[in-house]
């Protein structure tokens, strides 16, 4: 490891060990601190209610799915999709695979039995290469794929929550969101580290085209 990257790693580890939300996640049994990003957005925007059907894109390790399952309750349904395997969670159905491919999508369609979703959430992010322009382009590609998935699977007036990164391609993606939903707002929850360029977009009132 290079000397510079060693310093970065040590700095990240110190921050992680001292992170309030890391400690809170452990105390409450969440799989990662990211749970609190969803909790804080939901407290502000009231996205979740009992009985909702939700798909969590890029779900691993599963902290968002944990929050979703808690808040939609036993009458709701949470389906988690990820390329990585997901350790079992109570009241969460897991589908491993690339949601752009036919086999995972067929499994999802079978699980939904023709029902459209109330909510699609995506906390997806690419593996970071360190090349800023490439990482930004790949992150925006994931956003567009999530929006395409939502267009295909949301009910009319449904809701989408998606993580994006401010930079090249972000204004264009925001414009796409505004074409697809009645209202779109951006959120930067307290649990999102200040230095991160991540921002969450909440689209409400999906404009389903018949």
Q: Work out whether strand 198-206 and strand 92-96 pair parallel, antiparallel, or are unpaired.
A: unpaired
> Which residue, 94, 71, 28, 88, is CA-closest to 161?
71
Distance (Å, whole) CA 81 – CA 123: 11
User: Is 182 annotated in the active site?
Assistant: no
Catalytic, out of 7, 163, 188, 204: 163
Helices 35-45 and 20-28 sit at what angle, rounded to 10 degrees?
90
Q: Per-residue b/e over 124-150, b at no fewer than 16 CB within 10 Å?
A: bbeeeeeeeeebbebbbebbebbbebb
Q: 83: which 2 tokens? A: 């390329």
Catalytic residue IDs: 163
């Amino acid at each position: 490891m290079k000397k510079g990257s060693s310093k970065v790693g040590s700095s990240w580890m110190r921050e992680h060990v001292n992170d309030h939300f890391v400690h809170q996640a452990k105390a409450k049994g969440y799989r990662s601190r990211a749970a609190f990003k969803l909790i804080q957005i939901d407290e502000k925007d009231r996205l979740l209610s009992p009985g909702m059907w939700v798909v969590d894109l890029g779900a691993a390790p599963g902290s968002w799915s944990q929050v979703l399952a808690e808040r939609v309750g036993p009458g709701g349904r949470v389906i988690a999709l990820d390329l990585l395997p997901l350790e079992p969670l109570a009241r969460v159905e897991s589908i491993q695979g690339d949601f752009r491919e036919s086999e995972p999508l067929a499994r999802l369609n079978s699980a939904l039995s023709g029902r459209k979703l109330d909510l699609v959430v995506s906390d997806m992010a690419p593996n970071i290469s360190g090349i800023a322009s490439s990482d930004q382009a790949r992150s925006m590609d994931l956003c567009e794929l999530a929006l395409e998935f939502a267009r295909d699977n949301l009910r009319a007036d449904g809701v989408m929550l998606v993580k994006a990164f401010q930079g090249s391609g972000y204004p264009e993606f925001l414009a796409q969101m505004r074409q697809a939903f009645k209202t779109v707002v951006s959120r930067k929850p307290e649990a999102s580290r200040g230095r991160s360029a991540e921002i969450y977009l909440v689209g409400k009132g999906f404009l389903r085209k018949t």
